[in-house]
Amino acid sequence: QVHVVESGGGLVQPGGSLRLSCAASGIFFRVTDMGWYRQAPGKQRELVADITSGGMTNYADSVKGRFTISRDNAKNSVYLQMNSLKSEDTAVYYCNLSYFRVPYWGQGTQVTVSS
C-alpha cells in the first residue's frame, strides 16, 4: 500500500524560509519521479517543482531561484526548501508521485506567509 506524508508547513513572515518534507512508502522510491504542488484558496492546484528519479529538476517560474527540490533515496523522502517566501506562496502544499501510472497524493501541509 502506498503512503505519502508531508510535514514542515507553518506560519512564516515574508522573506522567511521553510523546509517541507515528504516521506513515501510502499513504492520503489529510487525509480519514482516526485513532485510538489500547491493550491491556494479559490485557485487550481499547480505544480511547484518536480524531480525525476535521476535527479533532474523542474520549477514553476514563480518559484525559480527561491525554492529548491531535492531527494534522499536512502530515506524515501523528497524535500522542498523554500526561501524568500512571499504572501502569494500561501497555499496548501501537496506531495505527489505516480506509481505504475496511478497518482498518489499526501494530505497536504499548510504554508502561510504573513506578517
Mean pLDDT on 3-28: 95
Mean pLDDT on 33-42: 96
Using CA atoms, how far apart are residues 11 and 110, in angstroms rounded to an integer? 8
**Banded pLDDT at 108 (limits 50, 70, 90):** very high
pLDDT of residue 31: 84
pLDDT of residue 27: 86
Q: What angle do CA 83, 16, 12 make, to 5 degrees?
A: 120
**Cβ 59 vs Cβ 71: under 8 Å:** no
Residue with cell 535521476: 54
The total number of residues written for the chain in this structure: 115
Q: Which triple of cell numbers denotes residue 1?
A: 500500500
Mean pLDDT on 22-49: 94
**Banded pLDDT at 96 (limits 50, 70, 90):** very high
The per-residue pLDDT for range 38-68, each reduced to its tens digit, is 999 999 999 999 999 999 999 999 999 999 9
| Count of C-beta atoms within a 10 Å radius of residue 43 | 9
Using CA atoms, how far apart are residues 33 and 75, in angstroms rounded to an integer? 15
pLDDT of residue 22: 97
pLDDT of residue 12: 98
pLDDT of residue 75: 96
